[in-house]
Structure 1
């Protein structure tokens, strides 16, 4: 897989390096999308970035997130984070838009962005917008552009609020969650901790990494709770079993590694915690169903 693109590399292409790029308050910037799209725009490689990005896309396009492909038919608001690799295709069909980028430190003292579904694994990172919603989002970006060019002392507080406004506009555009408010708090907290532990093992960036937590019992031990308690909480919140979620995440990473690295199947199997290549092959064929090599060559 291509190495992680740092925010410094993003600015290097623009021949400019902001002074506040790595200070303790974090970094934020906002841009119009037009210079980055169209027939003459360079392709964007499939890779992870070490910064967050929220993009308003006006026009159709195609975005690859992890092992999924999302078709944007009209307008969309797209969220990316350092955990998930992505790339945009068919960028000549994108008419314009805006995007803002920021480092994790920009929100560090103001809450965890991973609490929001648009930044969570398995969440919905691309939200199709109506014309009315698009106009609202464009208004937020115009306010960002105005604010970042102002001399106001607390402008980054305003920009932080505007970024959160985009998050909440996206969340409101999605179907409401259907969990029981009486029971979700404890179960949601346990599920969130489980998900964080699961995601912390990914992405696999080199062949020396190895997934250590593979079973519900492994995660329960790390969380210091009984495995049955973990299974009940996860099932209540996600409507899936703990084992299903673990398998889905390992399968997702397997697909990414098969399509976007030159690693052997043996190296991928070992990195994903399989002691035998045959075990990995059987696991993969059970879920796809293709052998890993056939999937790589499709």
Structure 2
């Protein structure tokens, strides 16, 4: 049961572990903070959890251990970790002097970086990436970027998210340069891992086609199984066991993420968005969106479109 604790954002995880959440505002879909301000007593071991968000961990000076699925890695100075939604993980800290953590969800990426973000940054769909120890010069480059992001995050610029989005593009490009020139995922040969990776790519491609009007109806769980020539129960079991989320939950999260992006476009009506996402009636879409976000599409648009 503990392996299936899915947390929607970092404040929820910290609340679960009794840690302070004051410096964190996850309302935009992004958080950034320095861990030495949160963790003051060592050693510290987290609860086992599965995040529903991406994260970058920039370890300038800290020591500990990080477990992702069945792989454990020692935390050491100069290390950068990238992890994405779904993986089971546990972290242990023995000491932290200077470490920065950035978390963000898919909706944030698509709203503030690029709506087709996976085209340029396909590594975001990768299941497990081995941490990389950067050279001093490389770490200094990413340090400058995450410090700028932190400064903007703490500021009040009316263009805050657009500025952070641009800085995130630069950071993602540097991660791509430093990590993925000779990219070789840990689990590349693992059958279950390949199924997860292919499912995520099929999900992303189908929603691209859906919002661009190339197809009219959303795929069902059975359809995603058929795309990989798998029995629907087998696909469901693999996705649930590897990511802690059902296929239906992945589809729902993707639907909501795409809806949030389109609601930021004042030129699209709620009815038009509903049709693009495959809903036969706008009220059905509105109820669906409210069920998953606690806001109606109109309320979301009013709060996020100036």
Alignment TM-score, normalising by the size of structure 1: 0.54
Query: Which residue of the partner structure matches residue 111 of structure 1?
Result: 115
Distance in 2 separating the partners of 1:192 and 1:42 = 31
In structure 1, what is the equivalent of residue 263 of structure 2?
none
> How far apart are the structure 1 equivalents of 2:69 and 2:103?
19
| Range that drifts further, 69-78 or 137-146 | 69-78
Partner of residue 166, structure 1: 171
Pair 34,193 (structure 1): closer, same or farther in 2 beyond 3 Å: closer
Q: Give the aligned partner of residue 135 of structure 1.
A: 140
In the other structure, the counterpart of 1:267 is: none
* Number of the residue aligned with 1:14: 20
User: What's the counterpart of residue 86 of structure 1?
Assistant: 89
Distance in 2 (alpha carbons) for counterparts of 1:40 and 1:199: 41
> Which structure 1 residue ranges, 5 or more long, are not aligned?
179-190, 201-211, 228-241, 258-298
* CA shift for structure 1 position 108: 2.8
Between the aligned partners of 2:57 and 2:198, the Cα distance in structure 1 is 29
Q: In the superposition, relative to structure 1, how do residues 79 and 112 fare at CA in structure 2: closer, same or farther (>3 Å)? A: farther
- Structure 1 consecutive aligned stretches of length 4 or more whose deviation exceeds 4 Å: 15-20, 112-115, 197-200, 249-254
1:194 counterpart (191, 198, 202): 198
Equivalent residue in structure 1 for 2:52, among 50, 53, 56: 50
Please say if residues 140 and 166 of structure 1, whose CA atoms lie closer than 8 Å, have aligned partners that are also in contact: yes
Q: Is the partner of 1:71 in helix, strand or coil?
A: strand
- Summarize the Cα distance change of 1:44–1:164 in structure 2 as closer, same or farther, 3 Å threshold: farther
d(CA) in 1 for partners of 2:181 and 2:94?
A: 34
Q: Secondary structure of the residue that 2:157 maps to in structure 1? A: coil
Unaligned runs of 5+ residues in structure 2 are 184-194, 205-220, 245-306
Offset, 1:160: 1.8
- Superposition deviation, residue 74 in structure 1: 3.1
Alpha carbons 1:117, 1:123 under 8 Å: kept: no
Contact conserved, 1:51 with 1:81, CA < 8 A, in 2? Answer: yes
Within the candidate set 137, 142, 156, 1:151 is matched to 156
Aligned-pair CA distance for 1:20:
6.8
Where do residues 1-298 of structure 1 align in structure 2 (5 Å cutoff)? Answer: 1-2=1-2, 3-7=5-9, 8-10=11-13, 12=15, 13-14=19-20, 16=22, 21=27, 26-37=28-39, 39-40=41-42, 42-58=44-60, 59-89=62-92, 91-109=93-111, 110-111=114-115, 116=121, 118-174=123-179, 176=181, 194-196=198-200, 221-222=226-227, 253=241
Can you list the C-alpha shifts for 1:110-134, whole angstroms capped at 9, x where unaligned? 2355553543334525222111112
Tell me how far apart the structure 1 counterparts of residues 99 and 152 of structure 2 sit (CA, whole Å). 18
In the superposition, the TM-score normalised over structure 2's length comes to: 0.53
Q: CA RMSD in A?
A: 4.2
User: Larger C-alpha radius of gyration, 1 or 2?
Assistant: 1
| Partner Cα distance (1:193, 1:124) in 2 | 12
